């Protein structure tokens, strides 16, 4: 009897405590090493996310890509978290290109002084997958994209500084340089791509050590109407020329490719100058996806643009001014695709846990935990389970979860325990597991087994 008195006194004075779960150190994963659905699309309006998902995740596909722009005057965490949450539900992987704002017929030149604000904003978001794909700028070999003057030295400094500061916040940021216009000549307002890259390296010989992948604007030129069978610079295979050129500069780093812009112009109506018919554009895109952009080095191809009604980009749009999609959409949608398997961070926080403090010997019992999803994946039933450990052995648990638990939501996970523990006092450790890995803090619960 004294044994149980002592146990009861321990039970009274022991409080439930929590060991703080140490964050795992994450780092980007190699996107070409996982099963990947490279189909994607470039959108202007985030209201097009659902149509984008129906396109890139069609015909057996899953986890395709979507490229969109965030301007510096749009940095509203609440707004963009809602966009990311929607992309998560639709299984869309975002590629985010950051931009300044348009003024005086040019895009404002990015400022080093504004990088910290960008870093704080980008790091405040719960991203859809572990890799946080960020494109730093757009075609800086055009004066109009850099405050009216082409300056590869400034862009090199901007790229390396921005990359360093993002990586300081999280190693999960996957840094992509601005896509360059491969067909731009040396002129008063543009700089030829190879010269621009050379001058970036002159400014900082290590500049490309700060990137994790390569951004390519592999447009079919001349006139965005070139052949799908063409090779080299200024074609749908521009990315190959770019990677080979980097090697001539001694840059041998293997860079996975993101073609964030490509596509053909098409006729808008019978009175327009016909560059390429809708039928031909559809064939060219279909051929390129199947036979050119199926290169294992390519992570994503997001043609420009899903929907745009105004000049000058309406001639690239896959949707007409009446809101109807051209056959381009339907044909690309019908191409067989694969189910991508991107890496997501699965992580939880146990907020409280309960098991009966007193149970009879060999009497099964129930318990529950209230847990918060603080990761990226949606906890569907069976994805995350509760484990209960004791000094003697592992217990046999049957877990139950009634509904999905979204990131930053809390839910209840109940469990049944087959009790084989001897009479006496026990302290159990409760934690969450996913794919046999601990993903949460631990909470310790005392229990007395009565005869």
CATH number of 2-23+345-450: 2.60.40.10
Q: Tell me how many helices (H) and strands (E) the chain has.
A: 9, 20
Q: Is 373 exposed, middle or buried (0-12, 13-18, 19+ CB in 10 A)?
A: buried
Query: Are 388 and 395 in contact, with CB atoms under 8 Å apart?
Result: yes
Separation of alpha carbons 387 and 372, rounded Å: 16
Same fold, 2-23+345-450 and 31-334: no
Q: Is 354 exposed, middle or buried (0-12, 13-18, 19+ CB in 10 A)?
A: middle
201-224 per-position pLDDT tens digit:
999 999 999 999 999 999 999 999
Please, which residues bridge with residue 63 across strands? none
3 state DSSP class of 120: helix
- Pairing assessment for the beta strands 132-136 and 173-177 based on DSSP bridges: parallel
Mean pLDDT of the chain: 91
Specify whether domain 31-334 bears CATH 3.40.50.10490: no
All structural domains of the chain with their residue ranges: 2-23+345-450, 31-334
Quickly state the pLDDT bin for 238 (edges 50, 70, 90). Answer: very high
**What are the φ and ψ backbone dihedral angles of 361, each rounded to 5 degrees?**
-55, 130
Q: Return the ∠ at Cα 233 (arms to 230 and 239), rounded to 5°.
A: 95
Of 2-11, 168-177, 238-247, 346-355, the least confident: 2-11
Question: Which residue would you say has higher pLDDT here, 417 or 270?
Answer: 417
pLDDT tens sequence across 416-450: 888 777 888 988 899 999 999 999 999 999 999 99
| Secondary structure letter of residue 304 according to DSSP | S
Q: What is the pLDDT of residues 90-106, one digit of tens each?
A: 999 999 999 999 988 89
Mean pLDDT score, 75-81: 98
Q: Of 161, 139, 140, 136, nearest to 152 (Cα)?
A: 140
**10 Å Cβ neighbour count for 296?**
10
CA 166 remoteness from chain centre: 15
Sequence-distant (6+) residues with CB within 8 A of 397 are: 385, 386, 387, 388, 415, 416, 417, 418
Residue 18, pLDDT > 70, answer: no
CB contact set of 47 (below 8 Å; sequence gap of 6+):
none
pLDDT of residue 27: 84
pLDDT digit string (tens) for 255-268? 999 999 999 999 76
Q: How far is Cα 317 from Cα 304, in angstroms, rounded to an integer?
A: 7
């Amino acid at each position: 009897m004294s044994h149980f008195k002592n146990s009861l006194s321990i039970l009274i004075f022991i409080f439930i405590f929590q060991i703080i779960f140490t964050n795992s150190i994450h780092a980007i994963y190699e996107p070409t090493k996982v099963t990947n659905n490279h189909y994607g699309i470039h959108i202007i309006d985030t209201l097009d996310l659902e149509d984008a998902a129906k396109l890139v995740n069609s015909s057996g596909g899953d986890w395709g890509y979507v490229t969109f722009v965030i301007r510096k005057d749009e940095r509203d965490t609440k707004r963009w978290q809602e966009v990311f949450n929607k992309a998560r539900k639709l299984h869309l992987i975002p590629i985010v290109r950051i931009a300044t704002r348009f003024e005086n017929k040019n895009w404002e030149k990015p400022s080093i002084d504004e990088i910290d604000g960008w870093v704080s904003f980008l790091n405040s978001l719960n991203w859809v997958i572990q890799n946080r794909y960020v494109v730093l700028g757009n075609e800086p070999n055009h004066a109009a994209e850099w405050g009216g003057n082409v300056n590869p030295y400034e862009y090199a400094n901007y790229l390396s500084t921005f990359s360093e500061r993002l990586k300081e916040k999280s190693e999960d940021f996957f840094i992509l340089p601005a896509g360059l216009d491969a067909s731009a000549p040396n002129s008063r307002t543009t700089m030829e791509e190879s010269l621009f890259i050379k001058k970036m390296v002159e400014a900082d010989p290590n500049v490309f050590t700060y990137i994790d992948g390569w951004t390519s604007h592999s447009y079919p030129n001349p006139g965005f109407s070139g052949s799908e069978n063409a090779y080299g610079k200024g074609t749908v295979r521009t990315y190959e020329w770019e990677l080979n050129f980097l090697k001539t500069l001694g840059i041998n780093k293997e860079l996975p490719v993101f073609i964030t812009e490509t596509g053909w112009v098409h006729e808008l109506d019978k009175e327009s100058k016909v560059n390429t018919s809708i039928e031909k554009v559809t064939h060219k895109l279909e051929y390129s996806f199947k036979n050119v952009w199926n290169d294992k080095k390519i992570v994503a191809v997001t043609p420009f643009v899903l929907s745009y009604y105004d000049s000058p980009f309406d001639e690239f749009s896959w949707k007409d001014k009446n809101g109807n999609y051209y056959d381009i959409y339907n044909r690309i949608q019908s191409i067989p695709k694969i189910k991508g398997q991107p890496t997501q961070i699965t992580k939880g926080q146990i907020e409280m846990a309960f098991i009966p403090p007193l149970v009879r010997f060999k009497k099964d019992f129930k318990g529950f935990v209230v847990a918060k999803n603080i990761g990226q994946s949606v906890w569907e039933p069976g994805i995350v389970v509760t484990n209960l450990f004791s000094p003697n052995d592992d217990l046999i648990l049957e877990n139950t979860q009634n509904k999905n638990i979204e990131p930053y939501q809390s839910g209840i996970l109940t469990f049944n325990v087959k009790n084989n523990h001897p009479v006496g006092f026990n302290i159990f450790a409760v934690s969450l597991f996913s794919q046999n890995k601990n993903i949460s803090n631990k909470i310790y619960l005392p229990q007395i087994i009565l005869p």
